[in-house]
Structure 1
Amino acid sequence: LTSQDGRVLRAVGEHQGRLCSRDLKERCADGQDHSARTWATRKRELTVLSSSRIAGAITKATHDQWALARRCQAAHIQTLEAGIRTLRHRLSLPVGAPGTKRAAGGYGSRSEWFRKSRRLAALEDRHTAAVAEWQAGRVRVVRGGRRLLNTRHHLTQARLTEDQWRERWEAERWFIAADGESGKGFGNETIRVTPDGEVSIRLPAPLAHLANAQHGRYTLTSTVAFAYRGAEWADRIAAHRAVAYRIHLDTERGRWYLTASWQRPVVKTIPLKTACARGMVGVDTNADHFAAYQLDRHGNPVGDPRRFPYDLSGTAGHRDAQIRHALTRLIHWAKQAGVAAIGIEDLDFTTEKTREKHGRRKRFRQLISGIPTGKLKARLVSMAAEHGLSIAAVDPAYTSRWGAQHWQKPLTTPRRKMSRHDAASIAIGRRALGHPIRRRTAPPPHDRSDRAGHRTVQAGPGDPGREGTRPPTTDRPPEGPSPNGTRKREPSASNTVRDAPSTQQWVQDSLMHTG
């Protein structure tokens, strides 16, 4: 941008940022007494100092920020309750009592028991205060971010000077955003972007003297271009459909960025039977990768396992980009495989993340806390809907254990290495398809016509041969030829003794099925 463009954007951001801070303060003061009348009053006051559309964007952003703070407050209360339950359970056990797979045991010494009893009292006090704030509708919000605010006290560790921190802090508190309107020029009246990339901004009333175009607008000298989904954006603005824009400054790079966003229709829910008609891709979520396996409609694994790694270290933006990249690769592979659905676990680590259950196992708590459960489901549903894929969430109980028990060893070959995570993805996919995880059911009773023949569960109920017997497992079947009339492998002749038994044996394919 030119120097004049930069000055205008800074002036607009500072002015609207002050209005946004004032409106957020009033919204927090209203608490649960908020109503449509108070909302209209705030919007009228903001309209005088800006415009009607800018006032609407500011109040909407304020409501979103207040609602986010309420959700975080509810999650904090749930975490405290989980810690209190675990502490009460462990304190009720005798000192040194062993734990189980589902619950931790007693504490190792009397001194540790005493320290944890004091911590229980502290958590109960925090819980009482948090519930009181929740019931009163009181939230704690920092425009610009609490982390950046606390960085002011640790400039040396952050490798920032006071001026650098101040510049970043002011840039984060600016507000240059506008919601779109369908039917208006190029989908937005406040921040307008033409198909050629020309950007013009409707200035607030106190800054109207900075306009360089008609109707109080300022047109930037440079143009913009969208490298991602640019064709979709062009189609929307050509049809004058709503597009929201946000302009922000990256102080580290010294660049201005414009972000476009729009809302998609609600994802339609389809019957599970329809989604599973072409098979399923089972996905096992881990701390550093997604393990995926393709299954046909009968639950049989197809091909080799796939892994999609990601790195969740670093900043929040880096973590979000890593998740989006891994999900994009997963969805593209699922589309190439020809399936119509993806099966995932419905994970919830609220209880596991508390330090009261795992004690000093800090590395393990960090491991499960790093698994992006909530963000993964939200992003996967929205991204999969763009490609016509459905998402099936299943119960995560015993998927890793049973997957390793029934699928890891049979699928391991000299050319294919199977891990517990790969086997777990098969278990997840089979559970999403409605099949049991184990490969075969128990033989029927001896009073059945097939006489204890093994029934496979990889085929549908109407497929012929589903309850057929297995091929014989000996070299020379005692009752004539094999069921299919042919041998898998001819017996080899002995080179030493003429009547010596053959060294070759019948090989039963554990994944053999009909249908």
Structure 2
Amino acid sequence: MGVLREMAAPFVVPGPLGVAVRDRLRGLTAEDEKVLRLVGDHLGTLASRDLKARCVAGLGHDAGRWAQRKRALTEESSSRWAGSITKAAHDQWALARRGQLAHIQSLEAGVRSIAHRLSLPVGEKGGKRVPGGYHSRQEWFAKSRRLYVLAGRLDAARADWKAGRVCVVRGGKRLLNTRHHLEQAQFTEEQWRARWEAGRRFLQADGESGKRFGNETIRVTDRGEVSLKLPVPLAYLANAPHGRYVLAATVSFAHRGEQWADRVAANRAVAYRIHEDTARGRWYVTASWTMPPVKIVPLATARTNGLVGVDTNADHLAAWRLDAHGNPTGDPRRFFYDLSGTTSHRDAQVRHALIRLLHWARRHHLAIAIEDLDFTAETTREKHGRKKRFRKLISGMPTSRLRARLVSMAAELGIPIVAVDPAYTSRWGAQHWQKPLTTRTRKTTRHDAAAVAIGRRALGHPIRRRTAPPRDDRSDRRGHRTVQAASVAPGREGHRPRIPGPRTRSVRTGCGANAVDQNAQHRSGRSAEHEFWQQDSLPLSL
């Protein structure tokens, strides 16, 4: 038997630290759209230039260079536009650095896996955790060539990482590559060009507390009026005092509108972003702000009434309700979603499945237990070899998006989320809970059993229903099993409780000759409860 890795303790997931809401700009005139495009294109050009300067600076960037970049942008826009542009460029460079590090880690995992398999004889079988050798000499030779390719890519990526060089595309690398595959993407050149220009525009501004309505650059009043500060070269387009342009459209945020209105009325910082959806021909404005950290519910409080164990799968969420003792109650629930189609369709499917889960948990006043999953290291091509379907299955599971949405939506409803270590939950759940929970009318799947295992781990109980008996025989010579009622449990050695109501047709409850004293029953020896070979009563779940 292999050595089990050390498992992390369950913890309550903290709530989100920020929020973003979006609304459509309805009623824009042709002049409004023209002004928005002119301002966005001008600021987008400045943002591209500043991002190039930030990438050239690399690791040698400091506060002095930041101030120099901002001064150069202020001459062609304004001080606040320049601050937003420089901050966005720095954030994009930092995001590219994190992606570069993840790419290096993926290459290192691939090189280790190939080197290990090449060191084994051809055809040697592997184990559950260790891959074996390659199946043929041809595959061995092809992988040896690939090892040199990956090693070269790894050396180049490490050199870029040490030098601080990153590759960034404003507008998106995927959209840039789509230009060479217009027929496959079902785009015309004009459609692609419109989307490319819309993606490279810059119309976003950070908020500032203490200023009017929380933002001086893009201002949205409490009545929904939208206006923006024009850059210096485009000041001639202003239709309001102080070089501002007021749009004819108004906004009213339906989701979290009261929170937004409270912040705007109190002149607290709110960041805004205006963008165009070329496919629909619409303009949208997104408002975002930070929230103070919410006090986390103690883990003991989240466990009070039991919880709902949830197992994440490629096409559904398997959930089962558990009481405080870890006993599954009721029937398992499954919340299905379809991850095929467009990004918006997949995102909507995840939201609908989560809202059904959250409403079910709120009706019973229960917390939710999930696995702290991270499949970034599991999707590597070299780890699973020829298992293309399995790699595709893991890559398609929306673990990060589902977890982020679940935490955000649960915080809005006041439902605690408990994260547990995902080690062995599926295997031990199927081993210890799938068969006992299967009946003639209920077919328990491995995913349902895994949900029970996740819930029990979140409650602090072992996944196993019972521990093994003593190794020499089945008596209690070596002491009680570890998973059973403690010696201090109330009523452990006392008489059986009196249950109201008649127990037979002829004798009422507690009226028999030996109703309480079980040792006085007509049996050979002492009562069964005190025989040396009899186990003490166990809770139902153990």
In which range does the TM-score fall when normalised by the shorter chain? 0.7 to 0.9
Q: Which has the higher mean CA deviation after the structures are superposed, 64-73 or 436-445? A: 436-445
Q: Is the 8 A contact 2:314 2:394 kept in 1?
A: yes
1:481–1:358 CA distance, 2 compared to 1 (3 A): farther
Match for residue 35 of structure 2? 8
Match for residue 108 of structure 2? 81
SS state at 1:305 partner:
strand
1:187–1:166 CA distance, 2 compared to 1 (3 A): same
Percent identity, aligned pairs only?
Answer: 68
Letter of the 1:431 partner, please give it.
R
1:440 aligns with 2:466: yes
1:380–1:483 CA distance, 2 compared to 1 (3 A): farther
Of 240, 253, 261 in structure 1, the residue corresponding to residue 288 of structure 2 is 261
Equivalents in 2 of 1:483, 1:354: separation in Å? 66
Equivalents in 2 of 1:80, 1:483: separation in Å? 72
Equivalents in 1 of 2:458, 2:443: separation in Å? 24
TM-superposition CA deviations, 1:164-209 (whole Å, max 9, x none): 1111100000011111122222222211222322111111121111
1:396 aligns with 2:422: yes
1:24 aligns with 2:55: no
Of 55, 74, 77 in structure 1, the residue corresponding to residue 82 of structure 2 is 55
1:81–1:111 CA distance, 2 compared to 1 (3 A): same
Q: Is the 8 A contact 1:291 1:305 kept in 2?
A: yes
Letter of the 2:143 partner, please give it.
K
Q: Is the 8 A contact 2:465 2:541 kept in 1?
A: no
1:465–1:33 CA distance, 2 compared to 1 (3 A): farther
SS state at 1:44 partner:
helix
Letter of the 1:355 partner, please give it.
R
1:483–1:369 CA distance, 2 compared to 1 (3 A): farther
Equivalents in 1 of 2:245, 2:222: separation in Å? 17
Match for residue 347 of structure 1? 373
The alignment yields a C-alpha RMSD, in angstroms, of: 2.9
TM-superposition CA deviations, 1:28-81 (whole Å, max 9, x none): 011111111111111122122112221111112111111111111111111111
User: Which protein has greater RCO, CA pairs closer than 8 Å, 6+ apart?
Assistant: 2
TM-superposition CA deviations, 1:201-231 (whole Å, max 9, x none): 1111211111111111111112122232223
1:418 aligns with 2:441: no
Equivalents in 2 of 1:483, 1:247: separation in Å? 78
1:304 aligns with 2:331: yes
Q: Is the 8 A contact 1:466 1:513 kept in 2?
A: no
Equivalents in 2 of 1:70, 1:316: separation in Å? 25
1:299–1:161 CA distance, 2 compared to 1 (3 A): same
Equivalents in 2 of 1:187, 1:102: separation in Å? 54
Equivalents in 2 of 1:64, 1:311: separation in Å? 33
Equivalents in 2 of 1:134, 1:269: separation in Å? 37
Equivalents in 2 of 1:437, 1:446: separation in Å? 22
Q: Which has the higher mean CA deviation after the structures are superposed, 129-138 or 202-211? A: 202-211
State the shift of 1:510 in Å. Answer: 10
1:484–1:6 CA distance, 2 compared to 1 (3 A): farther
Question: Please, what TM-score do these two structures have when normalized by structure 1?
Answer: 0.86
Match for residue 358 of structure 2? 331
Match for residue 504 of structure 1? none
Q: Which has the higher mean CA deviation after the structures are superposed, 201-210 or 354-363? A: 354-363
Letter of the 2:140 partner, please give it.
W
SS state at 2:198 partner:
helix
Q: How many residues align?
A: 479
State the shift of 1:481 in Å. Answer: 9.9
Which 5+ residue runs of structure 2 have no aligned equivalent? 1-27, 497-512, 519-536
Aligned positions of 1:347-496 closer than 5 A: 347-442=373-468, 457=484, 463-464=489-490
Q: Is the 8 A contact 1:453 1:469 kept in 2?
A: no
Question: Please, what TM-score do these two structures have when normalized by structure 2?
Answer: 0.82
SS state at 1:86 partner:
helix
SS state at 1:278 partner:
coil
SS state at 2:419 partner:
strand
Q: Is the 8 A contact 2:35 2:237 kept in 1?
A: yes
Q: Is the 8 A contact 1:291 1:306 kept in 2?
A: yes
Equivalents in 1 of 2:203, 2:494: separation in Å? 69
1:240 aligns with 2:267: yes
Equivalents in 2 of 1:422, 1:259: separation in Å? 39
Of 286, 301, 313 in structure 1, the residue corresponding to residue 313 of structure 2 is 286
1:190–1:276 CA distance, 2 compared to 1 (3 A): same
1:4–1:321 CA distance, 2 compared to 1 (3 A): same
